[in-house]
Amino acid sequence: DTAVSQTPKYLVTQMGNDKSIKCEQNLGHDTMYWYKQDSKKFLKIMFSYNNKELIINETVPNRFSPKSPDKAHLNLHINSLELGDSAVYFCASSQNSGGAKETQYFGPGTRLLVL
C-alpha cells in the first residue's frame, strides 16, 4: 500500500537509448511532480502536473517528456539518453493545486545510470 511508487527502482542503460520511468500515487492527490537529484545532491523540480495539466515546466531539455494519463499517474519519458542524465529521479504528489504551502509526498526514487 505504498503511497507514491516508482518503477523501475534501478535503471542502467546505454547512451542514446530511450527509457521511461513510471510513477503512481494512491493518495487521491491532484498534483504530481518530477524531481532530479544530481551528483551534487541538488534536488530540483523538473515538471508538475495538476489534474493532468502541466503547471511547472522548468528549464529541462526537450528530450524529457512527462505524460499524465490520469491524475494518479505521471510518467517520465527520456529520449536519446546522455551521460549527464545519470541521477536519481523522484516522483512526488500533493493534495490540491500544488500551491506553495502544500506538503509533498515523495516516492522512493529511480536510480538512472547512463553508460
Partner 1 sequence: DQQVKQNSPSLSVQEGRISILNCDYTNSMFDYFLWYKKYPAEGPTFLISISSIKDKNEDGRFTVFLNKSAKHLSLHIVPSQPGDSAVYFCAASASGTYKYIFGTGTRLKVLA
Length, in residues, of the chain: 115
Which amino acid, residue 76?
L
Taking CB under 8 A as the rule, which mask of x and - marks residues 67-96 in contact with partner 1?
-----------------------x-x----
Question: Rule CB under 8 A: is residue 97 a binding residue for partner 1?
Answer: yes
Report DSSP letters for 51-93, one per residue.
Answer: TTEEEEE-S--TTEEEEEEETTEEEEEE-S--GGG-EEEEEEE
Q: Which region among 13-21, 38-46, 67-75, 78-86 touches partner 1 (by CB under 8 A)? A: 38-46
For partner 1, which residue of 25, 31, 68, 75 counts as binding (CB under 8 A)? 31
For partner 1, which residue of 15, 55, 113, 115 counts as binding (CB under 8 A)? 55
Cα dihedral value 55, 17, 89, 32, nearest 10: 30
CA pair distance 102, 63, nearest whole angstrom: 29
Closest approach of partner 1 to the CB of residue 80, in Å? 26
Give the binding site for partner 1 (CB under 8 A): 4, 31, 33, 40-45, 48, 50, 55-56, 58, 90, 92, 97-101, 103-109
